[in-house]
Structure 1
Amino acid sequence: MSAPSHPTRAPGIWDVIVVGAGPAGATAARVAAENGCTTLLLERATIPRYKTCGGGLIGASLAALPPGLSLKVYDTARRFTFAHNGHKERTLDSSSPTCAMVYRSELDAALTEAAAAAGAEVRDGTALTTLEQRGDTVSVRTNRGDTLRARAVVGADGSASRVSRYVGVQCAQVDLALEVEVPVDERTADRWRGRALMEWGPLPGSFGWVFPKGDVCTAGVVAARGNPVALRAYKEDFLTRHGLIGPRPLHDTGHLTRCRRPDSPVARGRVLVAGDAAALVDHWSREGISYALRSGDLAGRAASRVVGADEPGARAAADDYGRRINDVLGAEMRASSSLMALFARNPALVHTALTRVPPAWHRLDAYIAGRTSVAGIMTTPLARTAAAVAGRLPASRRGSGRPGRVS
């Protein structure tokens, strides 16, 4: 790979500083380093670190991983069970099993090692506290009392990102996810092996999931932020029904997922954001790893162009990054927002379509395998018809179609 021409780095000035060593940040750091940039990757936690995440890698995520990445896959979902509020359960076979079950701690550590191998310097246990742009450099202050300077900064520091607030990212949807990682006995492990569960829940736009990982199951629920008591009650009911409430969990955590507004900025001057920090998450499934990996790649390339540019050139590179995000990932998010609106209005209709209308399942299966996108799903005649039918249903027909277990 040919490296772009960059100004000689003054003492104490990095070409690129990346904040956050998740999939977006580690990818941005690797790509910037591969493009000839002196790159510093900061992570506030000690690597490897736990991250609340289902850990299912769909086809788009697998395709975005660097070649030859050493990563242990604990299971691959060959069957998907769908249920509607604990009922109408049906299991469907995947035509090309793809969804790989991993631990985020191991994924992030592997991606960080790849960034280091490409030449990026990694400093964990180091958190950003403030940043400021002056002229052609950005100053970053850390919890260690250091002041670091760079020609470009990529913020990939999660959904509670400081860099996101600096850039001014705006959200259209904020959800709360509650998750556990539960050790399971051999009989339970056999029951879940090769099979993932998605259950449409009793709260608007909610669902629960179970992802198998050998002798551990990752399970959780998600719904719109604002009713944590009801969500916790749904979580307890969900885990109890699936026999995952008894063992002491390895982890029992929660976090917010955020979906950006279509007009939200992803850059401010020489500062870019990617992944969760840019609120790049699927509205319906709340899947974010594929968005993180792809936006991290785009951010690393854009940052390398910012480094070697004067101020007009840096603005042009940042603007081009925003256009690429909107054209590719933004299009997928707009489609997933439409799907989420349909699902929130009538989850029973979505469930019936997925489990009883073969073309609907085939499309979702193709999406999981990476052969199509949510935008590809929502442009089909079936999806357009379902959206039109849901929009004509009277209010009494909308929603779960059955009293929920959670009041």
Structure 2
Amino acid sequence: MQYDVLICGAGPAGSTCGRLLAGQGFKVAIFDQASFPRYKPCGGGLTGKAQGELAPGWEDLVEDSAGEVIFYHRQKDPLPVNSDGAVIKMVSRERLDAWLLEGAARAGAAVRDGYPIAAVRETESGVAVQGADGRVWEGSFLVGADGARSLVRRSLPFQTEATDGITLECEVPAADGVLEGYRGQVLLSYGGIPAGYGWVFPKGDHLSVGIGSFTRQVKGLRRYFDTFCRGLGLPIPLQLRCRGAVIPAAGGQGGVFHTRRALLVGDAAGLVDPFSGEGIYYALRSGRLAAEAIQTVAGGGGGLEAYSRQLNDELLQPLHYAWQIARVVYALTPVVHRLVTANPEVARRLVEVLFGSATYEDLWHYLRERYAIFRLV
């Protein structure tokens, strides 16, 4: 069957792109090997930037809101930072992703979840996607939204430079009394795992607890997780199931995210914040930019190279500053924590950046002007 746009991957990037294109009258098909709703290892925090990319109705998915962020160093020396309003809203990725995909389907996109893709190809005249069942789907444009291990990225001549890290996340059941103690706050602990941090996010009936590292050289991730939980006094059930995922963190160096008829979005493009690990905003935003690029090209407005330029300028260039900050913070975490404790303004500015009301560039210049360790990078 012939489509205008074939989208591999039904996460936030693919579903957003599909919804916007289908809403403009494009014939869209979205494929994903998972059956939705499906579990996704993720803290599920929506920053202000991410909220601004969502269609109305997302508010019904919110399970908690946090106006306080508490920073720890190796689960000790807590440093609370309070904001006047909520800096982050917590959702279940299972519910969020299903809602986004349902929105694409309502807009007119054909959804084939539970459908593994075996191969993709691009020709002068179009693109094709072959399912594991041997069936071939043809289209004019292809969007690779198929995650960190993207088949689309590996199959076509893109140029990306993300560095893979790893995360481990668990949904920890908590009694009402225990859960109430975590309401309205986010816990972040640095220094307990190389090149990464641990988090605790309150959800509807559980805590999202996880650790992540921006290097895959870390061994014994579950051991780090158990140490993190013990340090915060979190009781962990013996049969608790934890799930891992790859973090394709951007270095901010730019890349080529288009071919003649294909685009990469979200994790497939390596669009993950190399300091915080946030990926939802970058998935939503790149999905929107990809939809706009395809509309422009389909209307006779040039080629897809404008998409790569926009991604590099709008998303990758700011993340270069995040990468610079991460290099210092994760290499010298004890020093940085003492610095932040002595000057809480640093922590306040960091919270503003992490959750979308300020930029990494502003923070980078602020730190370089005041602290020699940031001028050494």
Q: Same fold (TM over 0.5)?
A: yes
Judging changes above 3 Å, is the alpha-carbon distance between structure 1 residues 238 and 325 closer, same or farther for their aligned structure 2 residues?
A: same
1:282 aligns to 2:287 (yes or no): no
Aligned pair partner of 1:231 in 198, 221, 230: 221
1:264, distance to aligned residue in structure 2 (A): 2.4
Judging changes above 3 Å, is the alpha-carbon distance between structure 1 residues 39 and 249 closer, same or farther for their aligned structure 2 residues?
A: farther
Aligned to 1:80: 69
Is the partner of 1:292 in helix, strand or coil? Answer: helix
Superposition map of 1:4-403 within 5 A: 12-69=1-58, 71-167=60-156, 168-247=158-237, 251-261=241-251, 262-309=253-300, 316-379=302-365, 382-385=366-369, 388-390=372-374
Is the partner of 2:69 in helix, strand or coil? Answer: strand
Cα deviation, 1:278-308, whole Å, max 9, x if unaligned, reads 0000001111001000001001111233344
Write the distance in 1 (CA, Å) between the matches of 2:118 and 2:261.
18
Write the distance in 2 (CA, Å) between the matches of 1:354 and 1:136.
56
Judging changes above 3 Å, is the alpha-carbon distance between structure 1 residues 350 and 32 closer, same or farther for their aligned structure 2 residues?
A: farther
1:125, distance to aligned residue in structure 2 (A): 0.9
Judging changes above 3 Å, is the alpha-carbon distance between structure 1 residues 70 and 96 closer, same or farther for their aligned structure 2 residues?
A: closer
Asked if the contact 1:72/1:102 (under 8 Å) is kept, the reply is yes
AA in 2 matched with 1:373: T
Asked if the contact 2:368/2:374 (under 8 Å) is kept, the reply is no
Asked if the contact 2:6/2:139 (under 8 Å) is kept, the reply is yes
Is the partner of 1:152 in helix, strand or coil? Answer: strand
Cα deviation, 1:23-77, whole Å, max 9, x if unaligned, reads 1010010111122211111121111011111100011100111133464211111
Write the distance in 2 (CA, Å) between the matches of 1:215 and 1:250.
15
Write the distance in 1 (CA, Å) between the matches of 2:245 and 2:265.
18
Asked if the contact 1:283/1:340 (under 8 Å) is kept, the reply is yes
Is the partner of 1:171 in helix, strand or coil? Answer: coil
Asked if the contact 1:154/1:303 (under 8 Å) is kept, the reply is no
Asked if the contact 1:70/1:110 (under 8 Å) is kept, the reply is no
Write the distance in 1 (CA, Å) between the matches of 2:261 and 2:11.
21
1:337, distance to aligned residue in structure 2 (A): 0.7
AA in 1 matched with 2:331: R
Write the distance in 2 (CA, Å) between the matches of 1:118 and 1:226.
39
The TM-score normalised by the length of structure 2 is 0.93
Moved more, 39-48 or 217-226: 217-226
1:386, distance to aligned residue in structure 2 (A): 5.1
Judging changes above 3 Å, is the alpha-carbon distance between structure 1 residues 137 and 231 closer, same or farther for their aligned structure 2 residues?
A: same
Moved more, 102-111 or 128-137: 128-137
The TM-score normalised by the length of structure 1 is 0.86
Judging changes above 3 Å, is the alpha-carbon distance between structure 1 residues 188 and 386 closer, same or farther for their aligned structure 2 residues?
A: farther
Is the partner of 1:255 in helix, strand or coil? Answer: strand
Write the distance in 1 (CA, Å) between the matches of 2:241 and 2:349.
33
Structure 1 segments of 4+ aligned residues over 4 angstroms from their partners: 248-251, 390-393
Q: What count of residue pairs does the alignment treat as equivalent?
A: 375
1:225, distance to aligned residue in structure 2 (A): 3.4
Is the partner of 2:303 in helix, strand or coil? Answer: helix
Write the distance in 2 (CA, Å) between the matches of 1:120 and 1:341.
42
